[in-house]
Amino acid sequence: MKRTSVLVMLFLSLAIFFKVQAQDVNECMQDLSIFAEFAKVKNYKSAYEPWIRVRKECPSINVAIFSYGERILKNFIKNGTPQEVETSKSDLILLYDDWIKYFPNKRNKSVLGNVLSSKAQALLDYKMADLKVIYSTFDEAFKKNPESFTNPKLLYNYFKTLYNRYKAGDQEVSTELLFDKYEEVSEKFELEGTNLAKKLDLILKKEEEGTALSTRETKNKRVYNINSNAIGTYLSNLDAIIAKEATCENLIPLYQRNFEANKGDVVWLKRAASRMDSKDCSDDQLFVTLVEALHDLDPSADSAYYLGLLNDKRGNPKEALKYYEESITLETDNYKKAKILFKIANKFKSSGRKSSARSYARKALGFQPSLGRAYLLIANLYADSANDCGDNQFNKRAVYWLAAKEALKAGNVDSSLRKIAKQTAESYNGRAPSKTDIFTEGNEGTTIAFNCWIKSSVKVPLL
């Protein structure tokens, strides 16, 4: 009898417990719905009370607690009273920690890199930690989950935080560490840029085929362009920072000092050769040493390209072209092929080989249609040939119409170049024949053929 009473009491206790739990969950779901609706319309003050109840009572019920919670707290930091500002700053850091605790994944993929880098940015924005702590938080995000650490601004600040430590004389940040981190972050930018380009190229191909884009595709194109703009902007800022330090005077002794210790490291050799190439330090004997070591250790598209570059500098154009072609053959990734082809196009442009430069720029576009810089290169080649093409002054200046047309293509395929493409096209059109010139010549609507290396034609605009 006594045992039965105990069992009955236990059953009743459990029933009451689960009923209370069910009531709590129901209340949480109601509050969740309430604060989410307020947050959607940016009424963060009204969202705060129901949000704080859900966060306290049911922190694992829905990720919206954290995604909307971040917006709610940032709004109080921006618009709250002095006390609300300080409380919300501290609470935001705790929110990121809880986010990782309760929702470390999204669709079975880790978001650790995204959340931790956001935490580091908050620490930086609100001056809540020193540079070492902020950098360590960024670094943890980058090393543990680079896949979700994709925000261009945060990637830039990851490197800039280390750079600021370096400039402040932090003994833990050597010049070599600074350059290594620059290479890692810039490679990440290039990876994210390539991923966007692949998505954008699919849409561009559909447009070229005359197929109408769906509403979703139109939206995606806009998002891809915005993100591409951000990547271009922050990568340029990154390059501007390192340009102050990565001079030949600094690079050559650094790489000479560390060559013996790293001559068996393919990644180190590639990065050193790439940096020397980009900074025009390739005339130094060290560049030859790096390239030969790289090719002996790991014959690849990169090493073949650098051997081509060396032969170019030695005045062996045929041998150089052989290695350039080998570089393209060895590369299996189309977007890396495009990058190599574009680099070769630039080398040919620098040496005055305009037809070859255009040929390689077009090959690059064949592998990456969104490579707007290739169109700008072609436009520049045409503009530089204005005095060499055409049998009279009018026809010579008509080359600028052709150049302007190519420049505009750059902005059409790469929105990050839209401004410079438009400015370039306007500049070229300004040098082309005016309406008065067309009227005087009486040749509106006629076609002008260029029999120089350009081997193309342009139609005179109608008045």
Write down the pLDDT at residue 21: 46
**Whole-angstrom Cα distance, residue 105 to residue 453?**
57
Query: Global pTM?
Result: 0.83
Residue 141 · residue 120 · CB < 8 Å: yes
Q: Which of 305, 354, 347 is nearest to 329 (CA)?
A: 305
Query: Considering Cα of 301, then 302, then 307, then 312, what sign does the dihedral take?
Result: positive
**Whole-angstrom Cα distance, residue 104 to residue 141?**
12
Write down the pLDDT at residue 208: 86
Write down the pLDDT at residue 5: 54
**Whole-angstrom Cα distance, residue 70 to residue 68?**
5
Q: What b-and-e string marks burial along 164-189, b requiring 16 or more CB atoms within 10 Å of the CB? A: bbbeeeeeebeeeebbebbbbbbebb
Give the pLDDT confidence of 157-198 residue by residue, as tens digits. 999 999 999 999 999 999 999 999 999 999 999 999 999 999
Write down the pLDDT at residue 459: 94
Write down the pLDDT at residue 3: 54
**Whole-angstrom Cα distance, residue 200 to residue 410?**
14
Extract the residue ranges of the chain whose pLDDT is less than 50.
Answer: 1, 6-23
Rg (CA), the chain: 30
Write down the pLDDT at residue 18: 41
Count of alpha carbons within 13 Å of 354, Cβ hemisphere only?
A: 15
